[in-house]
Amino acid sequence: MKPKMKVKMGIDVLMTVLLLCLMAYQTTGQELHEWFGAGMLILFIAHNLLNIRWYSSLLKGKYKLLRILQIIVNFSVLVSMLCLGFSGIVISRHVFAALPIGGPMATARSIHMAASYWGFVLMSVHLGMHWGVIIGMFRRLLKGRKMPVAAVWGLWLVAAVIAGYGLVCFIQKDIVSYMFLKNQFVFLDFEQGAVSVFTEYIAMMGFWIFASFYMIRGIGRISGKHSKGKEKINEKN
């Protein structure tokens, strides 16, 4: 693996860990939450700089459904991060408190709440859309050796159970109401243990990774069949 790719992977892993830490506010507290947020912002900027060529490629090539979805997700993540960064600075009581940046606190809090949950979902979807790369790396580590069928199905079953539990948590916590500002305040159980909090958010992330990964695979297969069908028609003509 090239050094640049190692740096990219390291940043992506750190961003994933920080995302989970940021969502677990009741276990970290306000000050640590702000430091995690500042770190996330720096890593996000670094991530975009390392992938700057992606932006220059937007005016090239064909726009198929899969590519359009990826662009929508990527730009949605960008918008959510911009909203989180600005609103986080406005409501900061520790890390950015000295900066002469102000604004309506109530509005900033609402934006921060909605953007945080949108960001969590969108970043999880983004990760799921690139999960095939991670699977490819794992296969290369096996050096051509095939995993037993039972092990493959076992891993799939574990992933499905985690995704199922994540969906249950997502519904029970009524995350959608926070995303669309139906509730102006987030209910946090400060008596809930850290292990339980992280388990729930890992499972919810797992659900969106699982769902988006198989959605991408489905679109890819449909597009592939459609392309083959066109080729056969052209051959007949």
Q: Are 119 and 202 in contact (CB under 8 A)?
A: no
Instruction: Tell me whether residue 26 is in a domain.
Output: no
**Where does 37-160 show beta strands of DSSP type E?**
none
Q: Tell me, yes or no, whether 213 lies in a domain.
A: yes
Is residue 42 assigned to a domain? no
Any domain includes 171: yes
> Does a structural domain hold residue 29?
no
The values of phi and psi at residue 148, to 5°, are -60, 145
Q: In this model, does residue 34 exceed pLDDT 90?
A: yes
In a domain, 72, yes or no: yes
Does residue 140 lie in a domain region? yes
Q: Report how many domains make up the chain.
A: 1
How confident is the model over 128-149, as a mean pLDDT? 80
Separation between Cα atoms, residue 226 and residue 66, nearest integer Å: 13
Are the C-beta atoms of 40 and 19 separated by less than 8 Å? Answer: yes
Considering the entire predicted model, what is its pTM?
A: 0.88
| pLDDT tens sequence across 58-68 | 988 888 888 89
Domain of 199, in residue numbers: 63-227
